[in-house]
Structure 1
Amino acid sequence: MTTEQARPAPDDRRWKALGVCLTAGFISLLDTSIVNVALPSMEHGLGASEAAQSWVVSGYALTFGLALVPAGRLGDMRGRRQAFLFGLALFTLASAACGLAPGASWLVLFRLLQGTAAGLVAPQTSGLIQQMFQGSERAKAFGLLGSVIGVSTAVGPLAGGLLINAVGTDHGWRWVFFVNLPIGVATFAAGLRLLPRFPASAGRREEFDLFGVLLLGSGVLAVMLPLVQEQQWHGRAKWALLPVAALLLGAFWAWERRQGRRGRAPLVDLALFSLRSFTLGALVSLTYFAGFTTVFFVFTLYLQNTVGYSALAAGVTVLPFAAASAVGAALGGRLVVRYGRKLVVIGLGGVALGLLGVVAAVQVVPGDGVGWATALPMLVGGIGSGLAVSPNTTLTLTRVPVKRAGAAGGVLQTGQRVGSAAGIAVVGAVYFAHLADGRSTTAIQLGLLTAVGFILVAMVLAVADMRERQAHPQPERAVEPVRRGSGDGGAEEKVGQSG
């Protein structure tokens, strides 16, 4: 047992420390969706072009996704507390810079920096949970994290709408960023006092795999660029980046294997993928986020541009999903130990059922009444989302060795960001193609059905993992590459946790 596993924080402090982590996670994930309803305000108050508005949204997602894995590895090596606090401070400063931006180009630049800072914070949260909690308490902590993930994404349009409604169109977009300042400062101060000082690693100080960072970053960039810019880059030439991405990611895989054979610490320990629970859980997360996050993208656009809702009214319409998601995630955190992957399957089924209900409601009650008509389906979908995200995160990370928790969390959340970008590209393409034909109701229905398709793929993967667990109920063990020259003269051959 390593030193970092043997020294949990005192009970009262670790739950408070979890609150610090979840608050930072909330504001960083909130910023993925809160700006969507602020784009007209940016155009009106700042004169931001369509291209600049696109980069305000997609640039954040891009740098967020690029930073996750190297940031997780950095936290594993140098200490998650330090990495968390640095990322939070940078995020707060970047938020202030975004709000004070004198022009659209400066806003895009600061938004890229803000996304990088968010990517630095996110994997430290899952890593700290791995360190501070075990067993059923860990499941409960991940349940609360699942609540934050679901609620922050869903409540973004409402929060943005409230701010713009209160401040006005000219400067409302600035307060979308300024709202992070008091929260960020207070959370940083609490983090200094409450976050535990775990040792970064036991034994020899490992090197940081810079070439691996370059290969992985280039590969993820080549995947995400054509996805996040699908609407802005016309023509098919952009898709030529995908085979380039495959080559770069293949080279990254080969390089990481070489690092393992030579006894050097890789950026991503490929032994993680020998854990079936981690591999299938990461795929479930990727495909679910491809469907889940796109719902708010196309539905809020439909409500504002077609039905004529204000930004605030559009945000209120998706509030039932956000509230129910919080309840479902808290419930899922308590039930996951008993029901396992079956709970994820039930949750995904609830999301699919809720979205099909939204599709039907749009057809039956078009016009101004659509917000009321979709409230119940949104409620059902939100409960399902909470039951899916929270338990899936727990089951995916619970058997990951604690010393690799940051990198594993980075891989999991990179999949979420790539899935979100891919889903928005695909669902957005379906929605805008039919919207151009003047069929707005058909456009939103087909867009939502496409999102349901992604969620059903996630359900198939979850069912496959559930059946495999039933056939082989014994806990898995992850086999790690041999590390030569460790500080204690020994070599680590196998690391496993039963969770």
Structure 2
Amino acid sequence: MTMARPSRATDDRRRWRALAVCLTAGFMTLLDSSIVNVALPSMERGLGADAADLSWVVSGYALTFGLVLVPAGRLGDLRGRREAFLFGLALFTLASVACGLAPGAGWLVLFRLLQGAASGIVAPQTTGLIQQMFQGAERARAFGMLGSVVGLSTAVGPPAGGLLIEAFGTGDGWRWVFYVNVPIGMAAFVAALRLLPRSPGSAGERDGVDLPGVLLLGTGVLALMLPLVQEQEWSGRLKWALLPLAALLLAAFWAWERRQGRHGRAPLLDLTLFSVRSFTLGVLLNLVYFAGFTTVFFVYTLFLQNGVGYSALAAGLASLPFAVGSAVGAAAGGRLVVRHGRRLVIVGLGGVAVGLLAVVGAVEVVPGRGVAWATALPLLVAGIGSGVTISPNTTLTLARVPVRRAGAAGGVLVTAQRIGSAAGIAVVGAVYFAHLAGRGTPSAALQLGLLTAVGIIVIALTLAIADLHERRTHPQPAPPTAERAPSQEPDPTH
């Protein structure tokens, strides 16, 4: 007995250190989706990049990131999440070096596409490894830490990019936005080799690579996301013709996956996951909430720089209250979700809506350069609400997913985030720019954009309240004991 205790303590420490490696890689890859925004003027000067090039530097990363999530998650389930994580991390680090060394705008766009794909390989392995390494309340706590990383990486990107441009100059400062990934990526790779657990893959499915499913899903997601991420750059309405094509391709993907299941073949995505109410609702909530949440930084930083005259660094720093609140809220949410379940998500969504409405009021009351101080407290409240939304919803969404499907399920969850973010920016951005084009004031344009984002978040809040009511009237049985830790408290999805 005395010999077993140190061994278990050592195993616990190893698991939490492995989680730290996953979160470090996750933070780095998510940060790269927002840190480049403030470096775009530097790229324009240093490379002579035009508007189309700059658009693809941002949107190309989002496209390839979203395209590979589900196939990469399935690959991790089949071949081993450790191996897929290491491959994605190495590819991301090398792509960062290539981006920093890019001799021209075309090369930079190409390497950004590669970097986005590598990020999409890493993301589902993180959720899958958490499912694999933790159970019960520990799993909820781990997802709380992941939620903190998501919130922090989204909000910290602009000030981090501003600091690097300030330190290395506007000519070549943009290169250091990518170089900063290299030492972090190398250290994380070495630590991952030592700490990440091996997983043998899914027994009996090692030859199951659903190539038609990969093609149908990839083209469907591409057709869906392309007009959304290029909404401002592609003029005219013809781009929206891709949306019916996307619906057709995704319907064909669904039919193909059902056929795969009926014939006993390994599908790319196990459609029985969507018969689990907590998973289906969690994915839908993720999609809707991220459509409202990520648009806040898009219109707020534009307003501060173009409407008020803030520098890129000052505009980035103005979003830090949200980042701090998000980290605090996510950590608390990870500890409380097992006890409070879906009610916690409702509280979080309400906090985000109230905080953003307060931002709208602060912009009206305190116009001019003092606006960042006036919105600091409302953004802190909204950030806490966001943290209390993201990490508990992740825990609840994946609570009933079998560990052997965790990678693909995590890929679906993050894909919903990416599609929601692209759709939200397209909608809120259209409202913001349309008001400016009609000779409206920047503050009024920001207020209308934020009210649109609040409306989207209220839709997510309505879904969560309806689900809680449904659970109270038609409770579900607890998940199988094989998926629960002996010390786990009552099922958090109730």
Shift of 1:452: 0.8
Shift of 1:42: 1.1
Shift of 1:384: 0.2
Shift of 1:469: 2.0
Q: Deviations over 1:338-377 (max 9, x none)?
A: 1000000100111111111111111111111011010000
Q: Deviations over 1:229-268 (max 9, x none)?
A: 1011111111001000111000000000000000001101
For normalisation by structure 1, the TM-score amounts to 0.94
Question: Structure 2 matches for 1:69-218, cutoff 5 A?
Answer: 69-218=70-219
Q: Report what 2:43 is aligned to.
A: 42
1:278 maps to amino acid:
F
Gaps of 5+ in 1: 1-6, 479-494
Q: Report what 2:476 is aligned to.
A: 474
2:297 maps to amino acid:
F
Q: Report what 1:339 is aligned to.
A: 340
- Does structure 1 retain, via aligned residues, the 8 Å contact 2:205–2:266? no
| Two-structure CA RMSD over aligned residues (Å) | 1.7
Q: Report what 2:5 is aligned to.
A: none
Q: Deviations over 1:81-115 (max 9, x none)?
A: 00000000000000111111111111100000000
**Larger deviation: 466-475 or 96-105?**
466-475
SS in 1 for 2:202: coil
Q: Report what 2:373 is aligned to.
A: 372
SS in 1 for 2:227: helix
Q: Report what 2:289 is aligned to.
A: 288
Distance 2:427 2:82 in 1: 38
Q: Report what 1:490 is aligned to.
A: none
Q: Deviations over 1:410-461 (max 9, x none)?
A: 0000000000000011111111111122321111111111111111111111
Q: Deviations over 1:304-332 (max 9, x none)?
A: 11111011101110000001100000000
Shift of 1:205: 2.5
SS in 1 for 2:400: coil
1:29 maps to amino acid:
L
Distance 2:176 2:210 in 1: 39
Distance 1:477 1:216 in 2: 30
Q: Report what 1:388 is aligned to.
A: 389
2:441 pairs with 1:460: no
1:190 maps to amino acid:
A
SS in 1 for 2:294: helix
Distance 1:206 1:125 in 2: 23
Alpha-carbon distance change, 388 to 9 in structure 1, aligned in 2, over 3 angstroms: farther
- Does structure 2 retain, via aligned residues, the 8 Å contact 1:34–1:159? yes
Distance 2:330 2:30 in 1: 16
- Does structure 1 retain, via aligned residues, the 8 Å contact 2:288–2:460? yes
1:34 maps to amino acid:
I
1:437 maps to amino acid:
G
Distance 2:466 2:262 in 1: 32
Question: Structure 2 matches for 1:242-391, cutoff 5 A?
Answer: 242-391=243-392
Q: Report what 1:449 is aligned to.
A: 451
Distance 2:299 2:437 in 1: 14
SS in 1 for 2:299: helix
Distance 2:478 2:61 in 1: 36
Distance 1:334 1:496 in 2: 19
Distance 1:471 1:18 in 2: 37
Distance 2:245 2:79 in 1: 32
Q: Report what 1:404 is aligned to.
A: 405
Distance 1:472 1:9 in 2: 43
Distance 2:425 2:213 in 1: 28
SS in 2 for 1:399: coil
**Larger deviation: 307-316 or 463-472?**
463-472
- Does structure 2 retain, via aligned residues, the 8 Å contact 1:476–1:496? no
2:301 maps to amino acid:
T
- Does structure 2 retain, via aligned residues, the 8 Å contact 1:42–1:48? yes
Q: Report what 1:492 is aligned to.
A: none
Shift of 1:475: 3.1
SS in 2 for 1:208: coil
SS in 1 for 2:214: helix
1:39 maps to amino acid:
L
Q: Report what 1:483 is aligned to.
A: none
Gaps of 5+ in 2: 1-7, 485-490
- Does structure 2 retain, via aligned residues, the 8 Å contact 1:289–1:419? yes
Q: Report what 1:3 is aligned to.
A: none
2:81 maps to amino acid:
R
**Larger deviation: 374-383 or 298-307?**
298-307
1:135 maps to amino acid:
G
SS in 1 for 2:439: coil
Distance 1:257 1:198 in 2: 27
- Does structure 2 retain, via aligned residues, the 8 Å contact 1:80–1:128? yes
**Larger deviation: 230-239 or 36-45?**
36-45
Over the matched positions of the two proteins, sequence identity in percent amounts to: 76
Question: In the comparison of the two structures, how many residue pairs are matched?
Answer: 478
- Does structure 1 retain, via aligned residues, the 8 Å contact 2:78–2:205? no
Shift of 1:10: 1.6
Q: Report what 1:232 is aligned to.
A: 233
- Does structure 2 retain, via aligned residues, the 8 Å contact 1:275–1:476? no
Q: Report what 1:487 is aligned to.
A: none
Alpha-carbon distance change, 365 to 15 in structure 1, aligned in 2, over 3 angstroms: same
SS in 1 for 2:60: helix
1:444 maps to amino acid:
L
Shift of 1:496: 7.4
Q: Report what 1:12 is aligned to.
A: 13
Alpha-carbon distance change, 57 to 476 in structure 1, aligned in 2, over 3 angstroms: farther
